[in-house]
Amino acid sequence: MRILLVEDDNMIGRAVEGSLKDSRYTVDWVRDGKTAVDTLAAQPYDAVLLDLGLPYKDGLQVLQDIRSRGLTLPVLILTARDDITSRLQGLDNGADDYIIKPFEMSEVLARIRAVMRRTGGSAVNTLDNGVLTLDPATYYAKRHDSGENVPLSNREFAILHALMLHPGTILSRSDLEDKVYAWGEEPESNAIDYLIHALRKKLGHDSIKNVRGVGWLVSKKSEN
């Protein structure tokens, strides 16, 4: 899952970026509102963590721009503005959550998972397609027929999470590279193939299907 972090405070930005990466998320970090808007126009993201007090363009203006362009991705505001007017403005303008600084990263991570569950129409913590269960809180995958919990590497988790969020949908090599690699990280030409191979070795060859020349997918529950 790829997240855009919009934060102008270097200390907070480094801490949040590090925690997100430790939690298997792919992160791009920008430090002002104008760059955030330009970045969102050029690159798809799964979620945005948005400060409000930003240079060049205020966070509320960034949020309004996101929603005015019809983008429905989750936006979580991380801000020191704790007055009720700012909270109402943020939520009424389309934010999915509003978190006051200072915060614990464990809570931010839990709120990201909760927002992603709501976005996916699920009330449970795990992703399940009838063959596999993936737990974003523990980064373990499990096959139903064996019941064994299997640990995944950061990039293995990122690929399987992207596929499990959209069961039945083919994701191309570039789609998966976007989920796994942040700015400045250049994948080798066969990196995605290697990661898919590693996942199949851990979870079974039928866990991920290849559509030759197009991409990969996991099946929907109804297809199993």
- Rounded Cα distance, 159 and 153, in Å: 10
Query: What's the predicted TM-score (pTM) here?
Result: 0.77
Structure tokens at 54: 């930003």
pLDDT confidence bin for 41, thresholds 50/70/90: very high
Place of tokens 């920008």: 30
Q: β-strands 127-128, 75-79: how paired? A: unpaired
Place of tokens 């839990």: 110
The per-residue pLDDT for 123 is 46
Show the DSSP H helices in 93-203 as ranges.
105-119, 154-165, 173-180, 191-203
Residues in the chain, overall count: 224
Q: What residue ranges do the domains of the chain occupy? A: 2-119, 127-223
Q: How does pLDDT run across 2-16, given as a tens digit for each residue?
A: 999 999 999 999 999
The average pLDDT across 72-77 equals 94
Say if 2-119 and 127-223 have the same CATH topology: no
pLDDT confidence bin for 136, thresholds 50/70/90: confident
The per-residue pLDDT for 119 is 67
CA atoms within 13 A on the CB side of 210: 11
Architecture of domain 2-119: 3-Layer(aba) Sandwich (3.40)
The per-residue pLDDT for 148 is 83
Architecture of domain 127-223: Orthogonal Bundle (1.10)
Q: β-strands 2-6, 47-50: how paired? A: parallel
What is the average pLDDT value for the chain, to the nearest integer? 89
Structure tokens at 130: 């009838």
